[in-house]
Amino acid sequence: MTASRYDVLGIGNAIVDVIARAEDDFLVAQGMHKGGMALIDEARAQAIYAAMGPAVEASGGSAANTIVGVASFGGRAAFVGKVKDDELGKTFAHDIRAARVAFDTKPATGGPSTARCYIMVTPDGERTMNTYLGAAQDLTPADIDEAQIAAAEVVYLEGYLWDPPQAKEAFVKAATIAHKNGRDVALTLSDAFCVDRYRDEFLDLIRKGTVDIVFANEHELRSLYQTADFDSGARALRLDAKLGVVTRSEKGCVVISRDAVESVPAERVEQVADVTGAGDLFAAGFLVGLARGKDHRTAARLGGLAAAEVIQHIGARPAVSLKARAAENGLAV
């Protein structure tokens, strides 16, 4: 086996988030499904930007947020994702490298602009996303470096990446390389609407063992198995996946393996400001724990710690050192 150079390598959409506060009636007026993610074209992107209130720009993307979280825990982290050689692309590249993440994917010189996601945060902290994928869709198998994939303890893939066909091929290529080198492959289901689009394909990936670890929230789990009942969804996941981790907001999470089903309570939170990135950061903590040999319960606690930190401020990336926060809570990584 190739010597490990990274704890976690993430592959996903390289996106810059444009975040604004909004009331529920704004979502209704704009035809947005609260709490969901819609894929939009460039014209719709411009129309939303014109209609929304004052906004903050921050580098984002689901897997990229997770990988920045891994680095904040002191983990060795890398990210693969496509930007264009434009201003937003330079912003994304600067931000992820500043977070001590290896980012070597070559930017596109032509084609659509760097991806952006318009995020409306309602007073209850819920986020509603409208994503223009732009250059992120142009990630191809050629962007997957075999030596880099082989050197990661865990390769982490986001469900959103299943939208563009070439990115889908890149995803499968990375999983194949990882398994050839004895590495684990993790998948986050990303969004219930994403699961609705690709349910059969996601189930196929899980059942065939293309992915070893599945991250989902309750909505995604129910969508995957088309059930309103959490317990029946959990039972089905236990039969299908080697390891499943289901987050349940304030109820904490459930870690589902062939050997056991373990509930882990959530960390205490003073006030929820913005739930953007909660699942992404939970995955960061869990994967760091797993890569460093922690048991499932400890890994889940690290995930809960990271999720609790990120939901108490605007933005989907940590505002403090997660490594220090873990140490303060007796969970040194």
The DSSP line for 283-294 is HHHHHHHHHTT-
Q: What tens digit of pLDDT does each residue of 309-319 get?
A: 999 988 889 99
18, 118 in Cβ contact below 8 A? yes
What is the percentage of the chain residues whose pLDDT exceeds 70?
99
pLDDT at residue 127 tops 70:
yes
Distance separating alpha carbons of residues 45 and 13, to the nearest angstrom: 17
The pLDDT of residue 1 is 63
The span from the CA of 16 to the CA of 92, in Å, is 6
Q: The domain spanning residue 296 has which CATH number?
A: 3.40.1190.20
Task: Please report the pLDDT score of residue 2 as a whole number.
Answer: 63
* Mean pLDDT within 62-74: 97
pLDDT above 90 for 161 = no
What's the pLDDT band for 41 if we cut at 50, 70, 90? very high
Alpha-carbon span 127 to 233, nearest angstrom: 25
User: Rounded to whole angstroms, how far apart are CA atoms 218 and 244?
Assistant: 12
Across the chain, mean pLDDT equals 94
Beta-carbon neighbour count of residue 207 at 10 Å? 12
DSSP notation for 4-34? P-EEEEEE---EEEEEEE--HHHHHHTT--T
What are phi and psi for residue 109, nearest 5 degrees? -95, -20
Structural domain boundaries enclosing 275: 6-328
Q: DSSP assignment, residue 84?
A: B
Rounded CA gap, 72 and 287, in Å?
13
Task: Please state the domain count of the chain.
Answer: 1
Q: The tokens of 9 are what?
A: 């390598």
- Residue 323 pLDDT greater than 90, yes or no: yes
Quote the pTM value.
Answer: 0.91
From the list 168, 180, 112, the residue with the least C-alpha distance to 143 is 168
User: Phi-psi category of 145—alpha, beta or left, where left has phi over 0 and alpha has psi -120 to 50?
Assistant: beta
pLDDT in tens, 255-309: 999 999 999 999 989 888 878 789 999 999 999 999 999 999 999 999 999 999 9
Which strand ranges, in their side-by-side order, compose the sheet holding 56-60? 37-39, 127-132, 115-121, 15-21, 56-60
Question: Torsion angle of alpha carbons 67, 71, 76, 77, nearest 10°?
Answer: 20
Which tens digit of pLDDT belongs to each residue from 202-257?
A: 999 999 999 999 999 999 999 999 999 999 999 999 999 999 999 999 999 999 99
Q: What's the pLDDT score for residue 120?
A: 95
Q: Is residue 1 part of a domain?
A: no
Q: Give me the pLDDT at residue 58, please.
A: 86
